[in-house]
Every structure is written in structure tokens, then in C-alpha cells.
């Protein structure tokens, strides 16, 4: 395999190779998508977490999957305003606990909506949104919102360039996110010396990606005669844990995709139906936990955190947590450990007031005695509240709010008085739309140019690539390939699985020629 450290190029020969190259972000074609201020979610995360730069102050998030929801929350933590989240589907694609976190801070999630235009001449100054039907904008429903940044989080595609170049068999699986290298349960591809793991083998959760990496590692060791007598047992144990993680509703697509690759039907977990949330009378003179986790997701930190064993999950890790209120002491450890911020503490103070403890990961952290506006699950003001105390632990705080007793079941967050109750402002859009949109940014190729070739009889990505240079720029087709293939499929009236992707070529990253001049042969190392 050829490697570079940005200064020199060298080759390494290996008996086995595990490819875990991850995924790249899907692009969305709309008017103004090339304006400064339009970002991918991964780019926004990198700018914030690595460079310490907030690339905007008022964001529109496109996509309500887990990535869109999580990045929206991170933007709020960084001090930005998320004007709204738009999702073309009829329901939120990510975990409801992640959606609830941003809703509590007043961020509206507009289902059956998408972005159709970025406004501005030199950079983003607003966004035109519209309702959708069957994932297509509905004419006449457009409206304008003020923003200075648009963040696109519309899914990921497996990064398989190295696998394709090596000659691994590539197949299309919509359930796994696109084109993937065929692999078996040991993560071995069609070439016995190449294994794959993580998003490169299909888009799933981070926890499953890590398990796939361990499975691939164990399988590699076993194929080389390493690992001893326990190698087989360990491998089967990891596969069992992976099957359990995929057992819930959010693993259904992965089960379908992997099952299709392996020629089997993968069964899900037997899970009870989510129960409608009910509120128990708050405990007088003592706190009790309230768990608002309505979906079957692979998560159990609350169970591990409870010192009284008051929380349990029925069945496997995808089960819903239930609380034994008689055992609960109201210590709050579960609340501080829950990654979804879905656990609260409530208490009846016996004097007409109650106390609600809410998890808090924002700055500033209030102080004891501060007056704030208590808000509900949608970020709407409920009443004035006083901070009773603040508990800090592991980068998170628990803020105890004293409110009127009748508001205990409503209050789930709070805001400073100047921010409470701010709502989305929609303005009628009276402008027009361009007849064309940019598809390939690297080579400046527009939709009309591609459609002209399709009408002339060209039917494949490679043919279009040779004429228009789509996929030959610095991104090597990561921005435009999916869009071009979608245009081809629509024109031909076929599925994406019936179309071949572009032929991957070396190098898989833009590399200066000077690096290749410093070639070192390490194949015998």
C-alpha cells in the first residue's frame, strides 16, 4: 500500500490490510450552495473543535439526523443561534433525545421542509426554505429566514476509494449509505487479504464502527494463526455484541443492508412498545428521577450510574429504561451521566413550590440565587424560577430550579430573561429562482450541462466525466458524484444500484509532486 506523511512517499507490504477510511458528507445542490457561509456539518465541527473558530452567528441546519441534531447542539454550546432545523422527511431521523435537547433551547424542527436557496452576493445573508412533498420542494410554499450560515447535514457516503482501487468487489446498498465493498461477517472483503471496518463498510453508529474494527482485528489475527485458542471465542463474542447493538429500530437499515450482503435475514430484538409518558406525583421532601427516554436506542449509562440499582432495562441494551421509585434516592448520578440529557429530578417542597433539577451543558453556568425564566420542552417560557443550587461534575452541571408546584411537570430547561421565548421569524419570499444550479464545484459544472449530455445519449458517469471533468477536481467527486448519479438515474428511470460509480484513481488525496520525488521503498521492511 502506498503511504505519505506529507513530505515523502513510501510503500509498505502487508500480509493483511484493514481499511477503515470512514465516510464523506453528502452534498446538496441548491441555488447559492457555493456561497461562503454554506458548510458541511463536519467542516463546522472541525472549525469549532480544532481551530476554535465559530464560522457564523445565526445558523440554519439542514437535516435532522443525529449529525444535524448533535452539531446544532454544539453550535448552541459555542454561543451561536440555530434559527431552525429543516428536515425533508416526515419525521426526525436522529434520536428523539438529541432532538429534545435542541427543542428545549427553543430551536424549532421543521419537518417536510428543505432549503432551496442561499441568499447573498458575497456571502450568506439569509436562506429560502420551502415545504416538501416526497422529498421535493413544493412551489408556492417558499419563505425567507435571516441567517449568516447554512450547515448541511444530509447523510454520509462510505469512502471506498482504496478498496475499489485494490480490486475489491463493490456493490450498491442504499441501506448502508451507498457503494460499499462486499464483506462477510468477519469483515473480510472479496480479497482475502483486505478487511474493512466502520463507515467504509456501511453507515452506522460510532459504537458499531468500533466493534467492527475489533472484529476485523480479531479476524485478521486469527487468519494469521495468532490469538491462541480464545481467538474464535472472542470473535463470536464481539459479533454477538454487534448484533445486539443493531437489534433496535435504529439498526433496522443496517440489518437489512448487511443481511443482503451475507444472504441472510438478520433478526432484531424483541422489544416492548414505548409507553406514553406519565407523570408521577413528585416526592415530598425528597427528589426522585424522571426519565424521558421514549425510544429504543442502544444506550445504558443510567443503569451503570445508579448506586441503588433503581434503573433497569428490559431485554438487551436497546430496551427502555424503567425506574423503581421506591429505590431511587434522588442522588442525581443518572442525570449527570445520561448522554441524551433525558433525566431530571423533581421534588415537592411542601410549601406550594417544587424543585426541578435539569442537566446543563451551556455557558454561562448560573449561580445560586440567580433569577431565570424556566422553559418547557419546546423552549417556551413557563414561569420565573430561582436557582436553588448548582452541582458540577465531569464538564456538566445540574441546575436546581425552584418553581411553583403546578409547573414541575412542565419545566425542563431555563433561559436568561433576554433570550426566553425567541421564535422563528418567517418572511414571505418575493424573489425569483435561477434556472440552473452548480453540481461540480471543483470544475464549475452546472446541472444544465449534464442534462444536455444525458439528452444527447450519454448514460454513465465515466462518459460525463471525460467530457465535463466531473470528479476530476481536488475533492475527486466526493461533492458531485452522488448528485450526478442521481441525475443519471432520474433521466434513465432506473435505480442507483443499476449505475456504476466513477472509477477511482490514485492518489486518493491531492498530493504535491514533490512528495513522490522523495519515494522510499519499504516493501521489504
Task: Tell me: do 143 and 189 sit in the same domain.
Answer: no
Alpha carbon separation from 177 to 26, 44, 202 (Å, rounded): 10, 22, 6
Task: Tell me: do 60 and 148 sit in the same domain.
Answer: yes
CA diameter of the chain: 80
DSSP of 174-233: GGGTEEEE-B-TT-BBSSTTEEE-GGGG----HHHHHHHHHHHHHHHHHHTT-SGGGHHH
- In DSSP terms, 150 is beta-bridged to 38, 60
Task: Tell me: do 491 and 450 sit in the same domain.
Answer: yes
From CA 136, how far away is CA 114, in angstroms rounded? 8
Task: Tell me: do 175 and 194 sit in the same domain.
Answer: yes
Report the interhelical angle of 481-492 vs 461-468 (nearest 10°): 120
Q: Length of the chain in residues, anyone?
A: 525
pTM of the model: 0.94
Instruction: Print the domain residue range for 172.
Output: 157-262
Task: Tell me: do 321 and 218 sit in the same domain.
Answer: no
Asked whether residue 267 is domain-assigned, the answer is: no
Asked whether residue 268 is domain-assigned, the answer is: no
Task: Tell me: do 34 and 99 sit in the same domain.
Answer: yes
> Considering its fold, how many domains does the chain have in total?
4
Alpha carbon separation from 369 to 78, 344, 387, 388, 389 (Å, rounded): 25, 20, 5, 6, 8
Task: Tell me: do 481 and 525 sit in the same domain.
Answer: yes
Residue pair 483/446 in contact by the 8 Å Cβ criterion = no
DSSP of 447-466: HHHHHHHHHTT--SHHHHHH
Task: Tell me: do 36 and 115 sit in the same domain.
Answer: yes
From CA 118, how far away is CA 44, in angstroms rounded? 17
* Span between the terminal Cα atoms of the chain, in Å: 13
Asked whether residue 472 is domain-assigned, the answer is: yes
Residue pair 8/520 in contact by the 8 Å Cβ criterion = yes
Asked whether residue 222 is domain-assigned, the answer is: yes
Along the 525 residues of the chain, how does pLDDT read in single tens digits? 888 887 888 888 999 999 999 999 999 999 999 999 999 999 999 999 999 999 999 999 999 999 999 999 999 999 999 999 999 999 999 999 999 999 999 999 999 999 999 999 999 999 999 999 999 999 999 999 999 999 999 999 999 999 999 999 999 999 999 999 999 999 999 999 999 999 999 999 999 999 999 999 999 999 999 988 888 899 999 999 999 999 999 999 999 999 999 999 988 877 766 665 555 556 666 999 999 999 999 999 999 999 999 999 988 999 999 999 999 999 999 999 999 999 999 999 999 999 999 999 999 999 999 999 999 999 999 999 999 999 998 789 999 999 999 999 999 999 976 555 567 899 999 999 999 999 999 999 999 999 999 999 999 999 999 999 999 999 999 999 999 999 999 999 999 999 999 998 888 888 888 888 878 765 555
115 by Cβ neighbours in 10 Å (0-12 / 13-18 / 19+) ranks as buried
Last residue of a domain, one of 125, 154, 183: 154
Task: Tell me: do 218 and 144 sit in the same domain.
Answer: no
Task: Tell me: do 320 and 404 sit in the same domain.
Answer: yes
Asked whether residue 20 is domain-assigned, the answer is: no
Task: Tell me: do 199 and 172 sit in the same domain.
Answer: yes
Asked whether residue 12 is domain-assigned, the answer is: no
Asked whether residue 283 is domain-assigned, the answer is: no
Last residue of a domain, one of 133, 154, 175: 154
Last residue of a domain, one of 154, 184, 209: 154
Task: Tell me: do 166 and 238 sit in the same domain.
Answer: yes
Query: What CATH number should be reported for the domain holding residue 77?
Result: 3.50.50.60
From CA 425, how far away is CA 13, in angstroms rounded? 59
Asked whether residue 517 is domain-assigned, the answer is: yes
- In DSSP terms, 521 is beta-bridged to 11
DSSP of 80-101: -EEEEEEESSSS--S-HHHHHH
Amino acid at each position: 500500500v502506498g503511504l505519505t506523511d506529507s513530505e515523502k512517499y513510501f510503500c509498505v507490504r502487508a500480509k493483511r490490510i484493514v481499511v477503515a477510511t470512514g465516510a464523506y458528507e453528502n452534498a446538496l445542490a441548491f441555488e447559492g450552495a457555493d456561497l461562503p457561509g454554506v458548510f458541511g456539518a463536519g467542516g463546522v465541527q472541525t472549525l469549532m473543535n480544532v481551530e476554535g473558530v465559530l464560522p457564523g452567528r445565526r445558523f440554519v441546519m439542514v437535516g435532522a439526523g443525529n449529525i444535524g441534531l448533535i452539531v446544532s447542539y454544539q453550535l448552541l454550546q459555542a454561543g451561536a443561534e440555530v434559527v431552525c432545523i429543516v428536515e425533508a422527511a416526515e419525521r426526525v431521523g436522529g434520536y428523539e433525545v438529541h432532538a429534545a435537547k435542541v427543542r428545549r433551547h427553543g430551536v424549532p424542527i421543521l419537518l417536510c421542509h428543505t432549503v432551496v436557496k442561499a441568499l447573498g452576493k458575497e456571502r450568506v445573508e439569509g436562506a429560502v426554505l420551502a415545504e416538501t412533498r416526497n422529498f421535493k420542494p413544493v412551489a408556492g410554499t417558499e419563505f425567507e429566514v435571516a441567517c449568516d450560515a447554512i450547515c448541511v447535514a444530509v447523510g454520509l457516503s462510505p469512502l471506498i476509494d482504496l478498496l475499489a482501487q485494490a480490486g475489491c468487489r463493490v456493490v450498491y446498498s442504499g441501506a448502508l449509505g451507498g457503494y460499499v465493498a462486499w464483506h462477510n461477517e468477519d469483515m473480510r472483503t472479496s480479497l482475502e487479504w483486505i478487511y474493512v471496518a466502520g463507515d467504509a463498510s456501511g453507515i452506522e453508529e460510532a459504537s458499531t464502527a468500533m466493534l467492527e474494527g475489533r472484529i476485523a482485528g480479531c479476524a485478521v489475527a486469527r487468519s494469521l494463526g495468532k490469538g491462541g485458542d480464545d481467538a474464535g471465542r472472542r470473535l463470536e463474542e464481539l459479533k454477538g455484541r454487534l448484533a445486539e447493538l443493531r437489534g433496535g429500530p435504529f439498526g433496522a437499515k443496517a440489518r437489512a443492508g448487511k443481511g443482503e450482503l451475507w444472504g441472510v435475514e438478520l433478526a432484531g430484538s424483541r422489544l416492548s412498545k414505548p409507553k406514553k409518558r406519565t407523570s408521577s406525583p413528585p416526592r415530598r421532601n425528597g427528589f426522585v428521577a424522571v426519565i424521558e427516554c421514549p425510544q429504543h436506542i442502544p444506550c445504558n449509562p443510567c443503569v451503570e450510574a445508579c448506586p441503588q440499582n433503581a434503573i433497569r432495562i428490559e431485554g438487551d441494551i436497546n430496551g427502555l429504561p424503567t425506574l423503581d421509585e421506591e429505590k431511587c434516592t434522588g442522588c442525581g448520578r443518572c442525570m449527570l451521566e445520561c448522554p441524551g440529557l433525558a433525566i431530571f429530578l423533581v421534588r415537592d417542597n411542601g410549601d406550594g413550590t417544587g424543585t426541578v433539577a435539569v442537566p446543563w451543558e451551556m455557558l454561562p453556568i448560573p449561580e445560586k440565587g440567580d433569577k431565570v425564566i424556566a422553559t418547557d420542552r419546546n423552549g417556551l417560557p413557563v414561569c420565573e424560577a430561582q436557582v436553588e443550587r448548582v452541582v458540577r461534575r465531569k464538564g456538566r452541571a445540574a441546575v436546581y430550579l425552584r418553581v411553583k408546584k403546578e409547573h414541575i411537570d412542565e419545566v425542563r430547561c431555563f433561559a436568561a430573561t433576554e433570550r426566553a421565548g425567541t421564535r422563528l421569524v418567517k418572511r414571505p419570499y418575493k424573489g425569483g429562482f435561477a434556472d440552473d444550479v452548480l453540481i461540480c464545484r471543483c470544475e464549475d459544472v452546472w446541472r444544465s450541462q449534464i442534462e444536455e449530455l444525458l439528452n444527447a445519449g450519454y448514460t454513465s458517469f465515466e462518459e460525463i466525466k471525460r467530457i465535463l471533468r466531473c470528479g476530476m477536481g481536488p475533492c475527486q467527486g466526493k461533492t458531485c458524484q452522488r448528485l450526478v448519479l442521481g441525475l443519471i438515474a432520474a433521466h434513465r428511470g432506473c435505480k442507483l444500484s443499476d449505475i456504476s460509480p466513477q472509477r477511482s484513481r490514485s492518489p486518493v488525496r491531492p498530493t504535491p509532486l514533490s512528495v513522490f520525488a522523495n519515494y522510499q521503498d519499504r516493501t521489504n521492511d
